[in-house]
Amino acid sequence: MEKVVEVNFGPQHPSTHGVLRIKVKLDGEIIVDAQPVIGYLHRNAEKLSEMGLYPKALIYMDRLDYVAALNMELGYILSVEKLMDVETPERAQWIRMMMVELNRIASHLVWLGTHGLDMGMLTPFFYCWRERERVLRIFDEITGSRLLYNYFSIGGVYSDLTPKGIDMIKEFVNTFPDRLEEIQSIFQKSYIYAKRTKGVGKLTLDDAIAYGVTGPLLRASGLKWDLRKNQPYLFYEKVNFDVPVYTNGDVYSRFLVRVEEMRQSTKIVKQVLEKLPDGDFYNKKYAKPMLVRMKGSGESYVPTESPKGEFGVYVIGDGSTIPYRVRIRSPSFANLQAVSIMLKGYKIADLTATVSSVDPVFGEVDR
Amino acid sequence: MSILYGILKFLHWPLWNWYLYGYPAGLWIMYFVDAIIEVVLVFAVAMLVVVILVYVFRKYMADIQNRIGPNRLGPWGSLQLIADVFKLIQKQDIIPKNADRIAFRVAPYIIFTPVILGMLVIPFGNASILQLMVVNFKYTLLFLVAAMVISPLGEVIGGLSSHNKFALYGALRSAAQDIGYEVPMMISVLSLIILAGSYSINDIVNAQKHIPFVIPEILGFIVFFLAMIAKQSIPPFDLPESGSELVSGFSTEYSGMRYGIIYMGNFGFMALASVVVATLYFGGPVGPFFNSVLWIAVKSAVFMIIFLLSWIALGRVRVDQFLNMGWKYLLPISILNLLISSLIAIYFGGAF
């Protein structure tokens, strides 16, 4: 009699965060083999981007990691600006930095809430959503939309900060750390949560590097690698923040890393509010009518630290108004491949914990 | 049999004096009709409690989670559950193609059975001369325990018959969980029997006139309480269902009113469990100042709230962790408790 049972987790399953399918071979409750199967949300983002003008590809970037859309836009915009040697005013760069950090907080909050659901905790989900809602309201006020912004433009941003928006951000950064403390304590003071996550889904540093894992997973495995520090873009060298690093490489360390990152992001937003210079919020040379005529040639790649890890867009221009090649380096895609080694030998219950600790967003994995 | 007797006496219709060929046929009819009336009454009360419990659960959970909860139907959304039930009844009754049809259909009712069976033997106190207890005989506690054991059986049958791997895993977990907590639970019940010197719940309640059993039996209470949480399969011990891991565990393939019956059975069992805990360890209707059905209502309401809080606030443990807890901690604790209560029964036997 065959002892090993093969079970399909997903693509429709409450804890796969979208359309991930994991082919799991189970011996009783123990996972013998787990293979993630991806591609259910493939939307051809790269090819579509190569079919339109440079600024038009931005909306496809929004839809990659839809819970951190501004981070995705940033990766593309920085690459395109490098390709075309576009100067960006200082104020625009500071605004970008602030918005990206706010979006990082929103993204991590989504992760924290759904991670709680995966661990069977219903309540923290709503607390996280309450805080995320405040970030989304800020985005609604400043960019005009709540989820997919289309906010960064080549040479700046599409709209300036409003006074009301600045007030909302100030109120948010002043109250958020306390609330985060509260949410964190729901997890951290729970004996059950600690028991479920400590030592689960272990990823050694060697494996992490071999699989190209980046972001919070890599930092939880013990390598202090944050592109904001190691290869600063925007003005990250001018602000003061720490990079949390834990060495256990388990789900619990990933939780700690992400929570600490939210705190550091709040710190960055606070500093940006103090240092925000006056001036243009976009390069007057590249006003909206100009954008459609922009030509690029050569190639460029600017890696950025998205909430999930290293995100960058490799753009090749052939001198026309349409990019020749747009290649997206998406962090979750690489991170998700490591799931199969993270899961081997653990139990079914650890599968949900581990997969959710990777924080995959399928718009970005399948592109 | 007292209700019908009272009514007939009021109507001056002495049915109990009717003999047929020398047999007391009138008395038999009275027994029969009375049994039906009382079971229906208990069922109605249980359903009423379930309706209230589901409403309180939703509102309380919503309040904790910064939501409003149901607020559309009826005053403060109180008719939401009834609307939900109607919706569930209207749904198509789907049975998987390869399922064991008979077992699949029977399982929800098996889950619901202990709610009614258990409620039959609970003494709810006295209303003037009428004792609010449907069945009273010498071994009511044994009957209660036997009735409560039934519901996991329904989970196992439902899971195995669904022809679905997730349901299969839910059923296996349910079986594993059962043997994990049921042995310690039985042993802690046993120590109650030793302490009270009787198998009758009535005697156990009467023995708690001065000191509720929770004081000498604190260890047994902890074991029994955890076992009750596990029996209802609510978080942190909702392993057979475990929403995020096994889709919905044993109830994955259930939909429509069959799922509704499972849902109601869970909440009904929560009501039963809190009543049982209040009766066995906190004296049930016996309370300070006066003895009344009011006391058991208050006590069980407190436990219902505690169960709901555990549901709302806690995460889920892993299967192996739960089994560890059951075999390595609950079982020794309950045996220690048995020892303690035996000593109490030997040396202070007259105190209770």
Give per-residue pLDDT as tens, B307-337. 988 888 888 888 888 888 888 898 999 999 9
CB A15 within 8 A of CB B245: yes
Q: B54 and B43 in contact (C-beta within 8 Å)?
A: no
A18-26, long-range: CB within 8 Å, 24+ apart, which pairs? Answer: A18/A360, A18/A361, A18/A362, A18/A363, A19/A362, A19/A366, A20/A336, A20/A355, A20/A360, A20/A362, A20/A365, A22/A339, A22/A351, A22/A355, A24/A343, A24/A348, A24/A351, A26/A348
Burial of B310 (0-12, 13-18, 19+ CB in 10 A): middle
Contact B315 A119 (CB under 8 A): yes
A13 touches chain B (CB under 8 A): yes
Q: How far apart are alpha carbons B273 and B267 in whole angstroms?
A: 10
Distance CA B61, CA B66 (A): 9
Give the separation between CA B243 and CA B252, rounded to whole angstroms: 9
Q: Which residues of A303-329 are buried (b: 16+ CB within 10 A; e: fewer)?
A: bbbbbbbbbbbbbbbeeebbbeebbbb
Task: Return d(Cα A300, Cα A323) in angstroms, integer.
Answer: 11
Q: How confident is the model at residue B129 (pLDDT cuts 50, 70, 90)?
A: low
Q: Which of A192, A348, A352 minimises the CB distance to B314?
A: A192
**Lowest-confidence pick of A329-338, B14-23, B147-156, B268-277:** B14-23
SS3 category, B316: coil
Q: Which of B60, B61, B237, B244 to mutate to test the interface with A (most CBs of A within 10 A)?
A: B244
pLDDT at B262 over 60: yes
Distance from CA of B96 to the nearest CA of A (A): 18
Residue B351: pLDDT over 60: no
What residues form DSSP beta bridges with A272?
none
What would you measure as the largest C-alpha separation in chain A, in angstroms?
Answer: 74
**Binary contact (B65, A126; C-beta < 8 A):** yes
Closest by CA position to B276, among listed B221, B331, B219: B221
**CB–CB contact A5 B244 (8 Å):** no
Record the pTM.
0.87
| Domain assignment of residue B194, given as a range | 91-351
Structural domains counted in chain B? 1
Q: If you ran DSSP here, which 8-state letter would residue A152 be given?
A: E
The partner residues of A5 in beta bridges, in order of sequence, read: A26
In a domain, B218, yes or no: yes
Task: Kindly report the average pLDDT of chain B as a whole number.
Answer: 83
Whether A193 contacts chain B with CB within 8 A: yes
pLDDT the model gives residue A108 = 92
Nearest-CA residue of chain A relative to B318? A349
pLDDT value at position A266?
92
Looking at the complex, report in whole angstroms how far the Cα of residue A187 sits from the nearest Cα belonging to chain B: 9
- Taking contacts as CB-CB distances below 8 angstroms, the residues of chain B near A351 are 245
The pLDDT value given to residue A109: 92
Q: What is the pLDDT of residue A321?
A: 87
Say if residue B102's pLDDT is above 60: yes
* Contact: A193, B315; criterion CB under 8 Å: yes
- Please indicate if any CB of chain B lies within 8 Å of the CB of A29: yes
Q: What is the mean pLDDT of each run of 10 residues along chain A (367 residues)?
A: 77 77 85 87 88 86 88 90 87 90 91 87 88 91 88 86 90 91 88 87 88 90 88 88 89 91 91 87 78 83 90 89 89 88 86 87 85
Please name which of A34, A7, A14 lies closest in space to residue B168, comparing C-alpha atoms.
A7
Mean pLDDT of chain A: 87
Predicted confidence at residue B349, as pLDDT, reads: 67
Q: Is residue B3 very low, low, confident or very high in pLDDT (cuts 50, 70, 90)?
A: low
CA distances from B92 to A125, B85, B167, B300 (A): 32, 13, 20, 36
B326 within some domain: yes
**ω into B114 cis (within 30 of 0):** no
Q: At what angle do helices B150-161 and B165-196 cross, to 10 degrees?
A: 170
User: Do A196 and B316 lie within an 8 Å CB cutoff?
Assistant: yes
B1, pLDDT greater than 50: no
Is residue B41 a part of any domain in this protein?
no
Tokens 């990152």 belong to residue: A261
Is B78 among the domain residues?
no
Task: Say which of A15, A122, A125 has its CB closest to residue B245.
Answer: A15
Which residue does chain A place closest to B317, by CA atoms?
Answer: A192
DSSP A5-49: EEEEE-SS-TTSTTT-EEEEEEETTEEEEEEEE--TT---HHHHH
The answer to whether the CB atoms of A192 and B236 lie below 8 A apart is yes
Q: Is residue B319 part of a domain?
A: yes
Asked if residue A300 lies in contact with residue A66, where contact means CB atoms within 8 angstroms, the answer is no
Across the range B97-103, mean pLDDT stands at 85
Q: Which residues pair with A137 in a beta bridge?
A: none
Q: What region, left, alpha or beta, does residue A306 occupy, with left being phi > 0 and alpha being psi -120 to 50 degrees?
A: beta
Phi (first) and psi of residue B34, to 5 degrees: -65, -40
Is the omega angle on the peptide bond into residue A277 within 30 degrees of 0, that is, cis? no
User: How do beta strands B126-127 and A323-329 pair?
Assistant: unpaired
A345 in contact with B, Cβ within 8 Å: no
CB A307 within 8 A of CB A215: yes
User: CA nearest B240 in A: which residue?
Assistant: A349
The strand pair at A304-306 and A297-301 is best described as unpaired
Q: Where are the alpha helices (DSSP H) in chain B?
A: 2-10, 25-64, 80-90, 101-120, 140-148, 150-161, 165-196, 201-207, 218-231, 256-282, 293-313, 319-324, 331-347
| Residue A122 distance to chain B (closest CA, Å) | 6
Q: What mean pLDDT is predicted for residues B91-109?
A: 86
Q: Per-residue pLDDT for B341 more than 50?
A: yes
Query: What is the spatial distance between Cα B103 and Cα B94, in angstroms, rounded to a whole number?
Result: 14
- Cβ neighbours of residue B179 closer than 8 Å, sequence gap 6 or more: none
For the domain covering A5-366, report its CATH number: 1.10.645.10
Contact (CB<8Å) B66/A196:
no
